[in-house]
Amino acid sequence: MRLISICILLLSVAILPYTISAKKATTIDELVEMYNIKPCAQCHPDKYEEWKTSTMGNSVVDPRVLMGMRSFIRLAIDEEKSLKREDLTICLNCHIPQIKDAAPELIVHIGNLVLTAVEAKDEIKREEAKKELSKLNLNCLGCHNLKGAGSNVQPKAGVIYVPDDIDDSAHRKAGYETQKSDILKTSEFCAQCHHCPPEVPWKDCPTLYTTYIENFIHKGHKETCQDCHMKGAEAIHKFFGPNNPDFLKSSISLSVNARPTKYINIYENKKTPAVVIKIELKNNAGHVIPHGCIFSPKIVMNLTVKDQDSKEIFSRQKEFTVGDLYFKGGKSVAMAEWDVTATEHFDLGIKPDQPFYSTFIIPLKTDTKAVDVEVILKYFYSRDEIFTIGETVQKVIIEN
Ligand code: HEC
Ligand code: HEC
Ligand code: HEC
Ligand code: HEC
Ligand code: HEC
């Protein structure tokens, strides 16, 4: 999903009057102190441990995110006259919602740390910058306070929004108010960051959430994001994603059926041996996969056929991805390549309930005795992290 037009909207939200009243943090430590989660961690150590290593707990220092923000600073902010370094809030709004309470000089400082973390020649400098940035993340209060009441609802300071009716005495003693918020159990809760704000017309914002509604909910399914990603009632705070091998593998069923055959070759006046391969990829997730924010991950399927001497006689590759591209002559707005309203959407992903099928009929030499049909499915999470999702090898004996 391309999130920039949303971001511009969010930017205008971020400068609404209500934020002016609060004191603004000028250092990272001040901002961390304003959204201090140490007390939450002390009483909910299980949730804290699960969350800490999740993508949410690393929503800035994730190497993909650091590189994405670096490129946004270099290729958008620094090149567009209308933008200033503090406009990095465009990205930070979702990645660290607490940023609404940061002073402009702190945003500029965070941007400088992002550049150091990615570009500094000295490894020690890069690591120091990352360590400082790792204090910023999407934490308990980002979800249970800032986003806990729902979109366009102003959250109340000092309130913990919870999904159920609970005994709130522990929270009261620790100085917090507790409020039940029904939105926490719904997919709309996640859509606050995984989709555009409700004001953006549906058709202008093709995101993972759009595909969840159109290709999953409208097809009669009922599961929420939490049912799959937090294991429902267990409310596991790892926010399982593609970087969890078992979760990732559960998203796709790969089946391969390879059979020997012969076809009539009228030119040569003989029967030519062949192998027929049928491949089916079924997406078990609740939306099109793969999907992303700026940089879209890729799923790549590789088919190779080798003869009895292990010599490759056939190969094919198919890529699945989703992305947005800007073309010359398109809407000319600032940062057009980053703007969902100026780019064209390409959905080359795999839809739930709509398996991807492909069939190959591969002619063989008459002396072929057997072939190995190998299908490998890989998920390119980042340049350095490539996960194998599925793998099968079938030996097919060719009768002559
Ligand atoms: C002094 C200990 C303490 C602190 C500090 C604390 N909690 Fe709790 N919290 C509890 C207890 C005890 C319950 C369970 C009450 C129950 O299950 O009836 C609870 C319940 C919750 C629930 C709802 C659980 C449910 O079953 O619906 C949420 C969400 C929650 N806390 C989040 C937080 C967050 C976020 C923070 C930090 C801002 C925090 N808590 C700080 C003790 C604490
Ligand atoms: C509307 C909320 C929102 C805004 C604004 C936003 N992001 Fe994201 N970002 C997300 C979400 C949600 C994910 C996880 C997306 C997924 O995996 O489908 C993410 C993931 C990423 C990733 C990981 C790789 C990928 O593309 O999935 C990068 C890089 C990234 N964001 C960079 C940026 C940059 C740079 C900006 C500002 C130009 C930005 N984000 C603005 C919500 C946002
Ligand atoms: C990305 C958003 C997000 C973050 C970050 C987050 N939570 Fe939650 N949390 C939720 C949602 C959503 C639920 C409700 C899940 C449900 O009931 O379907 C929940 C439920 C809970 C519950 C109730 C669990 C239960 O058994 O019902 C507790 C306790 C809790 N969170 C504590 C925390 C603490 C502590 C942190 C920080 C370490 C944290 N949360 C961070 C979204 C978040
Ligand atoms: C406050 C904004 C926000 C909310 C609310 C939110 N997310 Fe996210 N989510 C993000 C951002 C930002 C990232 C990217 C973090 C990264 O790549 O390091 C992300 C990443 C993810 C990822 C991992 C994607 C990847 O490429 O590894 C999953 C899975 C996910 N979110 C699921 C959920 C679910 C399920 C909910 C609702 C229970 C939810 N999110 C609520 C902002 C949010
Ligand atoms: C039926 C279960 C199911 C439901 C419902 C579901 N997901 Fe997923 N989701 C998965 C699986 C499995 C994956 C791993 C496959 C992948 O990442 O390609 C995944 C992947 C993701 C990713 C990473 C995308 C990528 O390819 O990098 C994000 C972000 C995400 N889901 C968010 C959500 C949100 C937000 C919702 C609700 C609007 C949701 N999911 C609903 C099962 C589900």
Nearest CA to ligand 3 atom 19: 235
Which ligand 4 atom minimizes the distance to the CA of 64? 17
Confidence of residue 171 (pLDDT cuts 50, 70, 90): very high
Distance 25 CA to ligand 1 centre (A): 26
Distance 224 CA to ligand 3 centre (A): 15
Contacts (Cβ under 8 Å, ≥6 apart) of 165: 180
Contact 271, 399 (CB under 8 A): no
231 — phi, psi (to 5°)? 55, 45
For the ranges 56-65, 146-155, 186-195, the lowest mean pLDDT is seen at 146-155
Looking at residue 1, its pLDDT comes to 43
Percent of the chain scoring above 90 in pLDDT: 84
Which ligand 2 atom minimizes the distance to the CA of 88? 37
| C-beta of 16 in contact with ligand 1 (< 6 A) | no
Residue with tokens 């603004």: 24
Distance 263 CA to ligand 5 centre (A): 43
Q: What mean pLDDT comes out for the span 299-304?
A: 98
Nearest CA to ligand 3 atom 6: 140
Q: What mean pLDDT comes out for the span 348-367?
A: 95
| C-beta of 237 in contact with ligand 4 (< 6 A) | no
Confidence of residue 7 (pLDDT cuts 50, 70, 90): very low
Higher-pLDDT residue of 6, 70 = 70
Contact 294, 75 (CB under 8 A): no
**pLDDT higher than 50, residue 214:** yes
Q: Which ligand is nearest to the CA of 54?
A: 4
Nearest CA to ligand 4 atom 37: 190
Instruction: Give the tens place of pLDDT for each residue, 378-397.
Output: 999 998 999 999 999 999 99
Contacts (Cβ under 8 Å, ≥6 apart) of 214: none
Looking at residue 22, its pLDDT comes to 67
Spatial separation of the C-alpha atoms in residues 244 and 241, rounded to whole Å: 6
Q: Which ligand is nearest to the CA of 190?
A: 4
Query: Quick one: CA torsion of 70, 16, 32, 1, rounded to 10 degrees?
Result: -40
Spatial separation of the C-alpha atoms in residues 29 and 76, rounded to whole Å: 28
Nearest CA to ligand 1 atom 30: 162
Tokens of 133: 């940035």
Nearest CA to ligand 1 atom 21: 162
Q: To test ligand 3's pocket by mutation, which of 140, 237, 239 has the most ligand atoms within 8 angstroms of CB?
A: 237
Distance 256 CA to ligand 5 centre (A): 24
Spatial separation of the C-alpha atoms in residues 110 and 356, rounded to whole Å: 43
| C-beta of 143 in contact with ligand 4 (< 6 A) | yes
**pLDDT higher than 50, residue 227:** yes
Contact 275, 373 (CB under 8 A): yes
* Mean pLDDT estimate for the chain: 92
Instruction: Give the tens place of pLDDT for each residue, 23-43.
Output: 899 999 999 999 999 999 999
Architecture of domain 245-397: Sandwich (2.60)
Looking at residue 293, its pLDDT comes to 81
Confidence of residue 333 (pLDDT cuts 50, 70, 90): confident
Instruction: Give the tens place of pLDDT for each residue, 73-93.
Output: 999 999 998 999 999 999 999
Measure CA 36 to chain center.
Answer: 26
Distance 61 CA to ligand 1 centre (A): 27
Classify the C-alpha dihedral 184-188-194-196 as positive or negative.
negative
| C-beta of 306 in contact with ligand 4 (< 6 A) | no
Looking at residue 15, its pLDDT comes to 38
Nearest CA to ligand 4 atom 19: 56
**pLDDT higher than 60, residue 318:** yes
Spatial separation of the C-alpha atoms in residues 271 and 269, rounded to whole Å: 7
Longest dimension (CA), the chain: 90
Tokens of 305: 């056929």
Percent of the chain scoring above 70 in pLDDT: 94
| C-beta of 144 in contact with ligand 4 (< 6 A) | no
Tokens of 245: 């091998």
**pLDDT higher than 80, residue 3:** no
Q: Which ligand is nearest to the CA of 140?
A: 3
Contact 200, 7 (CB under 8 A): no
The ranges assigned to domains in the chain are 4-194, 245-397
Which ligand 3 atom minimizes the distance to the CA of 226? 18
Distance 298 CA to ligand 3 centre (A): 30
Looking at residue 9, its pLDDT comes to 42
Looking at residue 19, its pLDDT comes to 42
Q: Which ligand is nearest to the CA of 237?
A: 3
Among residues 218, 240, 216, 217, the alpha carbon closest in space to that of 228 is found at 240
